[in-house]
């Protein structure tokens, strides 16, 4: 009887001593995730693709990873917070809307059930997309709508205004009717495609104008070249864009102008 008691006693004690015996980590920072920024690359459309990497998940798995961004160093997690898409140990996010004259600081962060930690920081200045080269070479502030009534200049061009997920502006050529531009994404350096949809998708633009009392629009599929030439100022070129009167008569529009002007 005594023997059985001892066996039970030692077994129970061993089980108890072993339970939840996860040693505390020596460095308290090791409980939190460790991340760093791999790169921040300016894309053709002027956005910035930020890539980070998880060096260590910490005490448990990473729940969220992302970036924050500010024009001062050491941005807080709430500054332009971007929750990234995590793919294995890599995570990425895209930032848009930059002031060309500012320096931007990007900082990685990650969370697990122990809390959150910041990673390394990376700065970028003069965030501007590489210029695009139009397929044609035109004089600035000129419109030729293909009807034989070319105009030497624009009277004015308004600045793009954001409204209901679209960026819109209008351009008034001297002696002709106004052209209306509706972009499906923010106007910045890049090549956009004309669309016959009044609500164009991102990367597309709907261009409409009045001829002979009827509204016409540029046929879909033509490229519109936009270059940023200053803060919220753009050089826009359209080469050989077809538009129709009725179903058979087709004209070709060429223009280049500064927006706003």
Partner 1 sequence: MNIFYKICLLLLINSFACHSQIFVRAYHYRPTGDFGSVFKPGFSAEIGYMPKFEERLRVCVSATYMVMKPRRDAFPIVGIQQGTKTVILPGEDRFDKYNLLHLFAGIDVAIIKRKKFFAYLGTDLTVGVGSVDSRTEVKTLISEGYSGGGGIAGFRGRIGLQYNLTDHIGLIAHVNRTGYILTEPRTVNWFNDYGMGVRYHFGYR
**At closest approach, how far in Å is the CB of 39 from partner 1?**
22
Question: CA-CA-CA-CA torsion for 167, 172, 176, 179, nearest 10 degrees?
Answer: 0
End-to-end Cα separation, the chain, in angstroms? 102
Helices (H), 82-176: none
Binding status of residue 64 toward partner 1 by CB under 8 A: yes
Q: In this chain, which stretch among 28-36, 126-134, 135-143, 192-200 interacts with partner 1, using CB under 8 A? A: 28-36
Binding status of residue 124 toward partner 1 by CB under 8 A: no
Cβ neighbours of residue 82 closer than 8 Å, sequence gap 6 or more: 50, 66, 67, 68, 69, 93, 94, 95
Residue 6 Ramachandran class (φ > 0 left, ψ -120 to 50 alpha, else beta) = alpha
Site for partner 1 in 66-85 (CB under 8 A): 66, 76-78, 81, 83
Binding status of residue 56 toward partner 1 by CB under 8 A: no
φ and ψ of 13, to 5 deg: -65, -45
Q: In this chain, which stretch among 16-24, 41-49, 177-185, 223-231 interacts with partner 1, using CB under 8 A? A: 16-24
85/232 with CB nearer partner 1: 85
Binding status of residue 17 toward partner 1 by CB under 8 A: yes
**Would you say 39 and 91 are in contact if contact means Cβ atoms under 8 Å apart?**
no
- Binding residues for partner 1, rule: CB under 8 A, are 6, 9-10, 12-13, 16-17, 19-25, 28, 31-32, 59, 64, 66, 76-78, 81, 83, 109, 111, 114-117
């Amino acid at each position: 009887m005594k023997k059985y008691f001892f066996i039970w006693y030692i077994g129970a004690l061993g089980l108890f001593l072993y339970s939840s015996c996860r040693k505390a980590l020596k460095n308290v920072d090791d409980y939190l995730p460790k991340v760093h920024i791999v790169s921040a690359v300016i894309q053709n459309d002027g956005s910035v693709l930020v890539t980070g990497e998880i060096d260590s998940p910490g005490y448990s798995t990473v729940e969220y990873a992302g970036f924050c961004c500010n024009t001062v160093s050491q941005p807080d997690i709430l500054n332009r917070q971007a929750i990234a898409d995590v793919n294995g140990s890599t995570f990425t996010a895209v930032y848009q809307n930059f002031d060309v004259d500012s320096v931007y600081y990007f900082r990685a962060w990650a969370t697990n059930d122990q809390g959150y930690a910041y990673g390394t920081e990376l700065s970028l200045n003069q965030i501007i997309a590489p210029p695009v080269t139009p397929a044609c070479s035109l004089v600035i502030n000129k419109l030729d709508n293909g009807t034989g009534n070319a105009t030497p200049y624009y009277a004015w061009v308004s600045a793009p205004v954001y409204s209901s997920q679209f960026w819109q502006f209008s351009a008034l050529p001297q002696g002709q009717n106004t052209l209306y531009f509706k972009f499906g994404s923010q106007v910045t350096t890049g090549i956009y495609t004309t669309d016959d949809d009044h609500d164009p998708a991102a990367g597309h633009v709907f261009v409409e104008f009045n001829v002979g009392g009827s509204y016409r629009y540029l046929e879909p599929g033509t490229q519109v070249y936009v270059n940023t030439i200053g803060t919220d100022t753009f050089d826009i070129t359209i080469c050989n864009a077809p538009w129709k009167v009725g179903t058979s008569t087709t004209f070709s529009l060429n223009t280049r102008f500064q927006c706003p002007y």
